[in-house]
Chains A and B, each alone.
Chain A
Amino acid sequence: MATVTLSNVVKRFGAFEVVHGANIDIKHGEFVVFVGPSGCGKSTLLRMIAGLEDISGGEIAIGGKLVNDVEPADRGIAMVFQSYALYPHMSVEQNLSFGLRMTGNPKADTDRRVKRAAEILRISELMDRRPRKLSGGQRQRVAIGRAIVREPQVFLFDEPLSNLDAELRVQMRVEISRLHKELGATMIYVTHDQTEAMTLADRIVVLRAGHIEQIGRPLDLYDDPDNLFVAGFVGSPKMNFIKAQIVGQDARGVVVELAGQEKTRITQPLAGAAPEVGSKVIVGVRPEHFGSAGEGDTDLVVAIDVVEHLGGTSFLYARTAHGEDVVIQRDAAKVPTTSEVTVSIRKSYLFDEKGLRLR
């Protein structure tokens, strides 16, 4: 069973700590995506699982076996690099078979594995070519093929699509998803692109500055973020944040007034303790949760700056009376032609001043 368990994993470069005690349990066959902005420690975490970086503290177990001091080659993993890391002087066939040939794997078995990988990735006709004669997408397939021939317990992907153009990225995303279904192996995937994370993952690990902010299924993160960072990072366009203040409490929950807009109040049910009246809070509203006037708790007048038409959907880039930027999603047919529009807030999230979600 190819489970991967990280227990309190720490990474330091000299005195500088870049991963601060990561705890993650990855189940057999699961597709887990590490996502976060540049420098958040996601690639470092992946490289520690691969054994390419030493672990400064904590434990990593693969398949229930502690691998802290196990050589990378003996961890039962295969990795696909961002730059593909193909051997430029070898043909595709040689790239795929190199590792097996060097370790004295029987030729018949090597040939079988290479043939199978080539068929899975549909690169059989490219076997005699050198990497420089391949397109970006083809190189990526070869890099994945090199991982497949190792028949690993766990696949590691380090931003494998970031060097591809947008169209190819979508295509390869689907390919990787298909591959996961076909192989049924555990896969850990690093990306800074939240769309990739949302579309590929069984579970997402959101990282920031070496801390795990939240772990959960894509839609759980989207619908129920733990904090301001996750709320802002997951979803495109990102969630709107509007400054507000607690002004009271009624039977339905706390009453929040948007900053600088008297009478623009929303009521938010809270299971936990309500903050004191007068506390500063942040109201988060996803672009699609703005409704037409009268649909929600309260109406809000915004001035439209720019409208982006994407076909079926349009995005209105607007400003509140208090000068806060908001993005509103509308059906293309319902885009207002006026410079001002009244919208309502149908659903919102509440965060305290530290950015933690108030539930």
Chain B
Amino acid sequence: MRNRNATAYRFLAPYLLIFSVFWVWPIISSFMISFQATRTVPWRFAPGFNWGRLIGDPAFFNAVKNTLLILVIQVPVMIALAMVMAVLLNSPLLKARGLYRFAFFAPVVVGEVAYSAVFRLMFSLDFGIVNKLLNSIGLPKIDWFSNVTPAMALIMIAVTWRWAGYNAIILLAGMQSIPEDVYEAATLDRVSKLKQFFHITLPLLKPVIVFCLVLSIIGTMQLFTEPFLITERGGPGGGTETLGLLLYRQGFRSLNFGYASAVAYTMAALAIAITLVQLWLTREKQ
């Protein structure tokens, strides 16, 4: 048996080697870098340098605030929207189901740069279709890129557009795994369609909804593309700067790898903490 295990490990060795070098080592290395002052040459070990700065850095707290704000508002709205889309896709009345499924999923496969450019155009102050539509119904134009609140709303709209369909497809798969005869039994029990949704579909979908929430939380904690490309590097004035963007700014623009590593670990810790709280809140109660 030991011999057979050894053979297996020999076959696994190339993968394990690459995994260790490019996956495990960077994780360890960045953790160690977070304890070093990296703006001096050579780097020196200074445990409190980056972590101490983190506690008093207004830019960090601004990024945390922005990220959490997006998380708290955008994720529930997106999951609710995804649920509505999934219910529509699951309806036997829907024609051309495949077309809708593709349309809902398409944003995920569209290139990030392309979609960001289109969003910038759509929401442009003078030429954007969104402002034209607002004007046409008698509402004033909104300067989406120069004011913090509209800029944050724009980020949330963009992220929702991109990921709602993806979550809808996952929820749809969950819905389709609920046996049809459970609904038939409820129909015979005189339970209305709406009550069936709230008392059967939602409770049975809970594990899938939790899965979608966890994915979305992790995704939002790492949010980078939209504030980088749509609101131009977290603008206006850092109003949409997220933790992912702060990390990028510190690491790759200021070349302060120690501080960027500390931010990265904080992001991961926050994502884990929020996910754990959420799993605890939605745990199966017996």
Contacts and interface: CB of A to CB of B under 8 A. Distances in A.
Interface of B: 179, 181-182, 184-192, 195, 199-200, 203-204, 206
Interface of A: 50, 52, 72-74, 77-79, 81-83, 85-89, 98-100, 102-103, 146, 150
Contact of A73 (B181, B187, B203, B206): B187
Contacts of B188: 50, 52, 72-73, 77-79, 99, 150
B191 A79 contact: no
B204 A89 contact: yes
B185 A146 contact: yes
Nearest to A156: B188
B203 A52 contact: no
Contact of B199 (A74, A79, A82, A102): A102
Given A89-B203, A89-B204, A102-B199, A150 B189 contact: yes
A85 B184 contact: yes
Contacts of A82: 181
A77 B181 CA distance: 16
B196 to A, nearest CB: 9
Contacts of A72: 184, 187-188
Contacts of A85: 179, 181-182, 184-185
Nearest to A147: B188
Contacts of B182: 85-88
Contacts of A98: 186, 189, 191, 199
Given A79-B185, A87-B200, A99-B190, 9 more contacts: A50-B188, A52-B188, A73-B188, A77-B188, A81-B184, A85-B179, A88-B182, A89-B203, A99-B191
27 contacts: A50-B188, A52-B187, A72-B187, A72-B188, A73-B187, A73-B188, A73-B189, A73-B190, A78-B188, A79-B188, A81-B181, A83-B179, A83-B181, A85-B181, A85-B182, A85-B184, A85-B185, A87-B182, A89-B203, A99-B190, A99-B191, A102-B191, A102-B195, A103-B189, A103-B190, A146-B185, A150-B188
A146 B186 CA distance: 11
- Most A CB contacts (10 A, CB to CB) among B181, B188, B192 go to B188
B278 to A, nearest CB: 19
Contacts of B181: 81-83, 85
A50 B182 CA distance: 15
Nearest to A52: B184
A58 to B, nearest CB: 22
A102 B194 CA distance: 11
A77 to B, nearest CB: 7
A95 to B, nearest CB: 9
Nearest to A129: B286
Contacts of B195: 102
B142 to A, nearest CB: 44
Contacts of A100: 189
Contacts of B204: 88-89
B184 A99 contact: no
A131 to B, nearest CB: 11
Contacts of A52: 184, 187-188
Contacts of B190: 73-74, 99, 102-103
A39 B181 CA distance: 19
B185 A81 contact: yes
A358 B189 CA distance: 48
Contacts of A103: 189-191
Nearest to A73: B190
Contacts of A89: 203-204, 206
B237 to A, nearest CB: 49
Contacts of B206: 89
Contacts of A50: 188
A50 B181 CA distance: 13
B174 to A, nearest CB: 13
A86 B179 CA distance: 10
Contacts of B184: 52, 72, 79, 81, 85
Contacts of B187: 52, 72-73
Contacts of B179: 83, 85
Contacts of A150: 188-189
Contacts of A81: 181, 184-185
The 7 closest A-B pairs by CB, nearest first: A99-B189, A73-B190, A85-B181, A85-B185, A89-B203, A102-B191, A81-B181
Nearest to B190: A73
Nearest to A91: B286
B180 to A, nearest CB: 9
A275 B189 CA distance: 56
A170 to B, nearest CB: 25
B203 A99 contact: no
Contacts of B192: 102
A294 B169 CA distance: 75
Contact of B189 (A74, A83, A102): A102
Contacts of A74: 190
Contact of B186 (A77, A78, A99): A99
A83 B179 CA distance: 9
B286 to A, nearest CB: 8
